[in-house]
Amino acid sequence: MGLYLIGDVQGCDAPLQRLLHKIDFSPSRDTLYLLGDLVNRGPDSAGVLRRLMGYGASAQCLLGNHDLSLLAIARGLRAPHRNDTLHELLAGADREPMLDWLRHRRMAISAQGLLMVHGGVLPQWDVPQALALAAEVETVLRGPDLVDFLAQMYGNEPAQWSDSLAGAARLRVIVNALTRLRFCTPEGAMDLRASGGLKDAPPGYLPWFDVPGRKTATARIAFGHWSTLGLVLRPDIVSLDTGCVWGGCLSAMRLGAGGAAEEIIQVSCPQAQAPGE
C-alpha cells in the first residue's frame, strides 16, 4: 500500500496522469492526499476533477483558494479572473456533479502523522482547534447556506483571529488562514498580499511556520499554495507546491512511518502561465 502527498495540480491533468503512472498508482491499493488547488490556470480542470472523483476514497482532497473561487464563480458571486481557465468545466454537462463533489472536500486533514492544509495555520491554533475550525467551514460548504457563505467569503479583514469572532467574519478568517496564508506577525495578523519567497516577507512579518511559539510547533504540517517557496522538507513542515502550472514540476511525496518522506517523485509540467496567485 502506497501513501502519497501531491502538491498543487491547478488543472494540469496530463502531468497528474504522468505522475500517477510514475508512482504506479492503483486506487485499489494506494491513497493520495492532494493539498488543494485542484483546479484553475491549467488547461484541463474538468479532467482533474473527473479523474479524482473516479478514484473515490483513494483520493483525499483538500480545498484551496482556487477551488473555492470556482465555487463562487459557478454561483455568479465572483467574476472570473482574466487568467482563469474554468470555462470548459463550467460549460460541461457534468458541472453540477463536479461542483457538488468539490464542496464536499476537506479544509484540513489529520492523517499519517501529518496535519494537511492548503495554506497555513495561525500561530494561536493548535491542531485540534485548526481541525475544529476547518470543520465549521466544511459544514457551511455542504449545507443550505452555501451561497450566502460564498457571497461573504472574500476580503482580507479581519486580519487576525479572535475566539470572539462570529458569523461571516469568523469564517472568512478561517478560510484565509487555511487557504491563503503565507506571512503573519508573531501575534497572528495576516498579510494576504505578499506572494514572494522568504526574503519578501513584509516588515514585521514572518512565514507562518517560523513564528516563535506557534502552537503547532510539535506537529508536522504539509501544505501547498506557495510556489515561490517550492519544495521544503523539514521535521516540522512539508511544502509541496513546486509550481506545476507556472512551468515548474508536479511533485509527490511517498509517505513512510509517522509521515516521514520516503521518496520525492516529480514530473515536468511546462505551461505558459505567468507566476501568480
What are 172-228's pLDDT values in tens digits?
999 999 999 999 999 999 999 998 999 999 999 999 999 999 999 999 999 999 999
Average pLDDT of the segment spanning 63-74: 98
Task: Quote the CA–CA distance of 64 and 176 in Å, as a whole number.
Answer: 10
Query: Closest Cα to residue 178, out of 210, 223, 211, 219?
Result: 223
Dist. CA 117–CA 5, nearest whole Å: 11
Label each residue of 34-103 as H, E or C.
ECCCCCCCCCCHHHHHHHHHHCHHHEEEECCHHHHHHHHHHCCCCCCCCCCCCHHHHHCCCHHHHHHHHH
Q: What average pLDDT score do residues 30-47 get?
A: 98
* 64: confidence class by pLDDT, cuts 50, 70, 90: very high
Residue 274 clears pLDDT 50, i.e. is over it: no
- DSSP E strands in the chain: the ranges are 3-6, 31-34, 59-61, 109-111, 114-116, 183-184, 190-191, 206-207, 221-223, 232-233, 237-239, 249-255, 261-268
Q: In the chain, what are the domain boundaries?
A: 3-268
pLDDT above 70: residue 271: no
With 50 as the cut, is the pLDDT of residue 85 above it? Answer: yes
Q: How confident is the model at residue 251 (pLDDT cuts 50, 70, 90)?
A: very high
% of the chain with per-residue pLDDT over 90: 94
For residue 56, pLDDT beyond 90: yes
As a whole number, mean pLDDT of residues 248-268 equals 90
pLDDT at residue 169 greater than cutoff 80 = yes
pLDDT tens for residues 90-149? 999 999 999 999 999 999 999 999 999 999 999 999 999 999 999 999 999 999 999 999
Q: What is the pLDDT of residue 270?
A: 77
* Other beta carbons within 10 Å of 235: 7
Confidence class for position 162, pLDDT limits 50, 70, 90: very high
pLDDT at residue 269 tops 60 = yes
How large is the average pLDDT for residues 28-51? 98
Q: Is the pLDDT of residue 30 over 80?
A: yes
pLDDT of residue 259: 72
Q: What pLDDT score was predicted for residue 81?
A: 93
Domain spanning 3-268, CATH architecture: 4-Layer Sandwich (3.60)
